[in-house]
Amino acid sequence: MSGNSEPRKYKNPVLNWIEFRLPIISYFEKEYGDYPMPKNCNYFWSFGALATITLVTMIVSGIFLAMNYTPHTEMAFDSVERIMRDVNYGWLLRYIHSNGAAFFFIIVYIHIVRGMYYGSYKYPRELNWILGVFIYLLMMATSFLGYTLPWGQMSYWGATVITNLFSAIPFIGEGLKTWLLGDYTVGNATLNRFFALHYVLPFVIFGIVGLHVAAVHVHGSNNPAGIDIRSKNDTVNFFPYMLIKDTIAVCVFGVLISAVIFFGPNLMAEVDNYIPADPLVTPAHIVPNWYLAPFYAILRAVPDKLGGVALMFGAIAILFVLPWLDTSKVRSCNFRPMYKWFMMLFFVNFFVLGYVGMLPAEGLYLLIARVGLVYYFGFFLILTPFIGWIEKPKTLPLSISDVYLGGGKQSPLTASQKEIH
């Protein structure tokens, strides 16, 4: 028997049999069991796990919703109402899915804030950051497509406004818009393809998340000190330490999202979307979902159609090159006395942009949006490169374990800088 010559790595013969043919057991052991995590990682490092769990929840609840949804302009709205009233637990599935989308963005925004503040996007994790921005971009596309499906007034007019953005492109714009819609206006052809794409994109996201995780595991996770792992003393194994920590985070998250799903399921919804779509009447005030509002504010802040569209897409595109705009070698903002405050102001500014993006674009709101727009781009294009040059960072700890030993054993910056790079 050839089986006798197989290596016996595990006690369980079934695991051995699988491992010899497909070394998936040792892969999971390495990546999720013994994977060394910097021991100073705080709860900000749980948001990647939270985002993965939310993605799976969205896919599962979405598949079950699709079993009862009809992607036709005449029937879509009613089929959603049927899910809410007649389908067993349909209301729960739909509220999980609609609020899950909002929480997915909350989690991912915190995850991005973590990456920016602690400089996780810097060498050698640039590709990891780029994959993350791709995921964020796909998430925005997917949520926009999904928002169209209930075929309410906001669905219809949101889809109209967003697809019209493409008509701003010179020469090919109108043709491109018609091609995207499959009609001259948002119609049945549009609803059908939006449903098809909304179904498939989450699986694409899932695939890129796999690459995103694989990429971070190559050089290991960043940490609040932003310095490299030097020895085994600097880390703890993912299992059980970080798994338990992430599980606590998941429990807290579960409490929060349940509170919204059960006690305020429409807190983040627009009431106008409970009115069936009417192609002849535009709602007085078209509001995007809050998680897309900062970009909508940028679009409206520019008094030119093409210029507004270009800056809106530019605001997302600029994220891709952040690793090369930042000239500082120090990762964590904890050791960057100047940049830290501009970074925090950037987060506040993004929040303010989102707020005015949901209000009418006039008077003071328009002025605030314009100031916010200038800071958004100024932060990336001017502050980030220049502060990197002129700022004098605080001295970095020698190692991650040193963080816990208190001061005294600090190295001059130049030495640690060399080692980081």
Partner 1 sequence: MAENSNNKRRDFLQLSTVTIGAVGTAAFIWPFLKSMNPAEDTIALGTTEVDVSQIEEGQSITVKWRGKPVFIRKRTKDEIDEAKTVNMSDLKDPEEDVDRVKKDEWLVLVGVCTHLGCVPLGQKLTDSKGEYNGWYCPCHGSHYDTSGRIRKGPAPENLAVPPYSFLNDTTIKIG
Residues in contact with partner 1 by the rule CB under 8 A: 157, 160-161, 163-165, 167, 178-185, 187, 189, 193, 279-282, 284-286, 300, 302-306, 308, 361-362
Closer residue to partner 1 in complex, CB, 22/362: 362
Closer residue to partner 1 in complex, CB, 18/197: 197
> What is the distance between the alpha carbons of residues 118 and 210, in angstroms, rounded to a whole number?
22
Sequence-distant (≥ 6) Cβ neighbours of residue 292 within 8 angstroms: 140, 143, 144, 357
Residue 13 CB, nearest approach to partner 1 (Å): 47
Closer residue to partner 1 in complex, CB, 101/311: 311
Residue 382 CB, nearest approach to partner 1 (Å): 27
Number of residues that make up the chain: 421
Residue 156 CB, nearest approach to partner 1 (Å): 11
Closer residue to partner 1 in complex, CB, 82/177: 177
Residue 165 CB, nearest approach to partner 1 (Å): 7
Closer residue to partner 1 in complex, CB, 163/235: 163
Residue 295 CB, nearest approach to partner 1 (Å): 14
Question: How many of the other CB atoms lie within 10 Å of CB of 46?
Answer: 23
Structure tokens at 368: 């605030």
Angle at 102 between CA 99 and CA 104, to 5 degrees: 105
> What is the distance between the alpha carbons of residues 191 and 398, in angstroms, rounded to a whole number?
57
Closer residue to partner 1 in complex, CB, 192/411: 192
Residue 387 CB, nearest approach to partner 1 (Å): 34
DSSP 8-state secondary structure symbol assigned to residue 238:
I
Closer residue to partner 1 in complex, CB, 189/367: 189
Residue 192 CB, nearest approach to partner 1 (Å): 11
Closer residue to partner 1 in complex, CB, 18/286: 286
Q: Which of 365, 375, 368, 354 is nearest to 295 (CA)?
A: 354
Residue type, position 52, single letter: T
In our burial notation (b when 16+ CB lie closer than 10 A, e otherwise), range 98-126 reads bbbbbbbbbbbbbbbbbbbbbbbbbeebb
Residue 303 CB, nearest approach to partner 1 (Å): 6
Sequence-distant (≥ 6) Cβ neighbours of residue 340 within 8 angstroms: 117, 333, 334
Structure tokens at 132: 């993350």
Measured CA to CA in angstroms, residue 199 lies from 105, 119, 142 at distances of 18, 34, 9
